[in-house]
Amino acid sequence: MRMSSKLDELCKQLNKNAKEEIITLGLNGFNYQRIPFTSPRMNYCTFGGIPVGKITEFYGEEHGGKTTSALDIVANYQQMPDARAVLYVDAENTLDADWARKLGVDVDNMYILQPKSQSAENIFQAICDFVDSGEVGLWVLDSLGVLMSQQEYDKTMEDKTYGGIAKPLTLFSKKIEMLMQKHKCTGIGINQEREDLNSTWGGTTTPGGKAWKHVCSVRLRFSRGKFIDEKGNELTRSAESPAGNIVMMSMTKNKTCPAVARVGFYTLTYADGIDYIKDLIDVAIRFDFVQKAGAWYNLIDFETGEIIKKLQGMQSVKEYLKVEENIEYLKSLEKQIDYAINNR
């Protein structure tokens, strides 16, 4: 059925008044541009990363990997050809510049807001002002759980207050979403997971009310998995000197990619940051670009399907791919995996 000429004219007029295309005939599938994670495992689980122009919430338990994951996104965004300024709101005043640099963040070219005695309303307005300038492409708020509303700030410890930051956060959620759509800006809100004292059955919740949850197009929950040693072997929780840990992730809300439940993880080492090559191998095995049988790994020629190298143990594969003479194979493997992830 073809649209009538009157509706054609109405669509043209509406788009002309808005100065952009806001109404079309028909709708394509999920075609959001994405800011990727460093870990191919995370990109596999999130269909390429977090969506540009939307708000994503990173929440979970303490030391779960929320801030590290947000800094990883910042680092990758800064390397994008069309990257604009980054605003990082360090509301907790705990941002570690050395750790951020280790993750690849260009700290010296990132606007960092570290509030001292500002209320939640002041911080929300600052974010809106930066986004409305049109020069900010990504903002991170770390974290919602420590913000205090003006109402709480003005009262004494004996005075009762209700709602916390829920009311100002509701207004901020509505306002910032419109500004982000206008300027094609991306946002990450980091939130804490706390016990739900209002529930008869226990469980956990996040502060800030329901409006914030609704405005977030994607919600990712992070938690700390098992500790690992220098070779990537799993350790017990009581390990005294682990070399890193597994960061667990579950996608609890997803409105920008196919509606499937996604649970994943990535490998974090305290000395070097995210173990990119290990996670790359894990995804390569999933797509059969690398074949695994017991402790043996077979590297495959992408054109012929023949085995070009047989190695024993994950560490051997990592060392093989790090050798300079094998860089071309590594780059080809990266391209194959990127294509497979984006064309599932």
Residue 259 has pLDDT above 60, yes or no: yes
Beta-carbon contacts of residue 81 (< 8 Å; ≥ 6 apart): none
Read off the pLDDT of each residue in 86-114 and give the average, rounded to a whole number: 97
Token pair 């009581």 is at which residue?
238
Q: What is the pLDDT of residues 139-166, one digit of tens each?
A: 999 999 999 988 887 777 666 666 578 8
CATH superfamily of domain region 29-274? P-loop containing nucleotide triphosphate hydrolases (3.40.50.300)
Rounded Cα distance, 202 and 206, in Å: 13
Fold identical between 29-274 and 276-344?
Answer: no
Q: Which residue in the block uniquely carries the two structure tokens 């706390």?
A: 194
Q: What is the pLDDT of residue 261?
A: 59
Which CATH architecture describes the domain 276-344?
2-Layer Sandwich (3.30)
Number of neighbouring beta carbons within 10 Å of residue 320: 17
Domain boundaries, the chain: 29-274, 276-344
pLDDT category at 29 given cuts 50, 70, 90 is low
Q: What is the pLDDT of residue 30?
A: 61
pLDDT digits (tens, 9 = 90+) for 192-242: 998 776 666 767 888 888 899 999 999 999 999 999 998 888 998 888 899
Tokens 């990712």: give the residue.
220
Task: Kindly list the distances between the CA atom of residue 151 and the CA atoms of 45, 115, 127, 148, 163, in Å, as whole numbers in the listed order.
Answer: 40, 17, 20, 8, 10
Closest CA to 262 of 52, 51, 48, 62: 48
Question: Does the pLDDT value for residue 3 go beyond 60?
Answer: no
Q: What is the pLDDT of residues 121-136, one digit of tens each?
A: 999 999 999 999 999 9
* Average pLDDT along the chain: 91
pLDDT for the residue numbered 2 = 54
